[in-house]
Amino acid sequence: MKAVIITKQGSPVTPNVAVVTDFADCGDPALGQVRLKTLTSAFNHMDLWVGKGIPGVDISYPHIGGCDACCVVEAVGDSVDTSWVGKRVIVNAAQPVPLSAKPSDPSGHSLAPDYRLIGEHSKGMHREAFLAPAVSLVDIGDSDPVHAAAFGLCALTAYSMMVTKADLKPGAFVLITGIGGGVATSALAIAKHFRCRIAVTSRSADKVAQAKALGAEFGVVDAGQDWSKDVRTWSAKRGVDLAVDSAGKATHLSCIKSLARGGTYVTPGCTSGPDATTDLARIFWNQLRIMGSTMGSNDEFKQVAALFRSRALSPVVDKVYPWDRAGEAYARLEAAEQFGKIVLQW
């Protein structure tokens, strides 16, 4: 079977990437599963983390990454409706972990879902075919496979944190850091869909300009300075209602200082580091909310996919490569040259 593999753990990741044609077949679907033929697969930052190694996650090499793909259902296992066969689908890579209850456990009303990720905890979607749970599929009709693969996990992550958790409202002021990555460009699309006023930051002036062309109103070229005053000036000193920050250490404090009273800071990641400096006095005095978010449920996946299928939301595609040039795709991702999603054609 054709596959893109990471041969061993290391940084940089790109030298350890190989394309093969003799990887073991995934086999037939088991109870509740489907077998999927891959049309396209897309990259996430997770593709780099699994190559570098993730503390607490046991990854065996050679490993196949890939948390996003557009596929055709080839076969179904027991208990799966046969009408899935032949459908063009996308897959929610976030697999919920069942809770194990103890007699002394209190109510679990406040517990967030725990997820295992296809492409991280198990071999992923950068291959010719793979197995997945039927409950994780969404039928996307005749949607373009490139855009479909580019949409899934990043749009789900952005939707869950902005709409479900942060309760985004139409017309809000939204700040998005590190524009250019998949989650950030998905957040931009969602904020635009809600007719929000949008500010972005990036270390690249070109990426700021591209974001403005897609609907951002204001942009900051981030050279490591405190840009919160610029954001507050743009918002007529009000501050933003929502800061979407996946950079972490490098941008956290500026985000906190950019928030309006009662505003929300939400983070789905921390690519610049987890040990951020914050301002607790500002947090309690301005009654700010700080939220963490990762991926999303199958119900949320269906909700955001409905917006894709209706063409209300569309991902930003950076570049498309044939599968056997995956090394070039990894190199572009690792150099952070992309604006939007990098996709492989199978």
Contact 298/277 with Cβ under 8 angstroms? no
Q: Are residues 42 and 163 in the same domain?
A: no
**Quick check: is 94 in a domain?**
yes
Q: In this structure, what CATH number is given to the domain that contains residue 211?
A: 3.40.50.720
Q: Are residues 162 and 218 in the same domain?
A: yes
* pLDDT less than 70: residues of the chain: none
Q: Are residues 26 and 87 in the same domain?
A: yes
How far apart CA 137 and CA 80 sit, in angstroms, is 12
Q: In this structure, what CATH number is given to the domain that contains residue 21?
A: 3.90.180.10
Contact 14/327 with Cβ under 8 angstroms? yes
**Quick check: is 148 in a domain?**
no
Q: Are residues 204 and 249 in the same domain?
A: yes
Tokens 């999603």 correspond to 341
Q: Are residues 163 and 283 in the same domain?
A: yes
Give phi and psi for 162, each to the nearest 5. Answer: -85, -45
Q: Are residues 273 and 198 in the same domain?
A: yes
Range of the domain at 278: 156-292
- pLDDT value at residue 56: 84
Total structural domains in the chain? 2
Residues paired with 72 in a beta bridge: 37, 88
**Quick check: is 287 in a domain?**
yes
The tens digit of pLDDT for each residue in 262-304 reads 999 999 999 899 999 999 999 999 999 999 999 999 999 999 9
**Quick check: is 72 in a domain?**
yes
- pLDDT value at residue 99: 81
**Quick check: is 300 in a domain?**
no
Query: How large is the greatest C-alpha to C-alpha distance in the chain, in angstroms?
Result: 60
Residue at 252: amino acid letter? H
- pLDDT value at residue 311: 94
Hey, CA dihedral for 201, 206, 207, 212, is it positive or negative? positive
Q: Are residues 242 and 271 in the same domain?
A: yes
Q: Are residues 131 and 180 in the same domain?
A: no
**Quick check: is 245 in a domain?**
yes
Q: Are residues 323 and 276 in the same domain?
A: no
Q: Are residues 137 and 12 in the same domain?
A: yes
- pLDDT value at residue 111: 87
Q: How many CB atoms lie within 10 A of CB 261?
A: 11
The tens digit of pLDDT for each residue in 32-51 reads 999 999 999 999 999 999 99
- pLDDT value at residue 181: 87
**Quick check: is 306 in a domain?**
no
Q: Are residues 233 and 327 in the same domain?
A: no
**Quick check: is 297 in a domain?**
no
Three-class secondary structure assignment of the chain: CCEEEECCCCCCCHHHEEEECCCCCCCCCCCCEEEEEEEEEECCCHHHHHHHCCCCCCCCCCECCCCEEEEEEEEECCCCCHHHCCCEEEECCEEECCCCCCCCCCCCCCCCCCEEEECCCECCCCECEEEEEHHHEEECCCCCHHHHHHHHHHHHHHHHHHHHHCCCCCCCEEEECCECEHHHHHHHHHHHHCCCEEEEEECCHHHHHHHHHCCCCEEEECCCCCCHHHHHHHCCCCCEEEEECCCCCCCHHHHHHHEEEEEEEEECCCCCCCCCCCCHHHHHHCCCEEEECCCCCHHHHHHHHHHHHCCCCCCCEEEEEEHHHHHHHHHHHHCCCCCCEEEEEC
The tens digit of pLDDT for each residue in 106-120 reads 988 888 889 999 999
Q: Please indicate, yes or no, whether the overall pTM of this predicted structure exceeds 0.85.
A: yes
Q: Are residues 35 and 104 in the same domain?
A: yes
Nearby residues of 233 by Cβ (< 8 Å), 6 or more positions away: none
- Taking phi first (over 0 means left), then psi (-120 to 50 degrees means alpha), and beta for anything else, what does residue 55 get? beta
Q: At which of 277, 292, 307 does a domain end?
A: 292
Contact 142/281 with Cβ under 8 angstroms? no
Picking from 180, 138, 184, 179, the residue whose alpha carbon sits closest to that of residue 162 is: 184
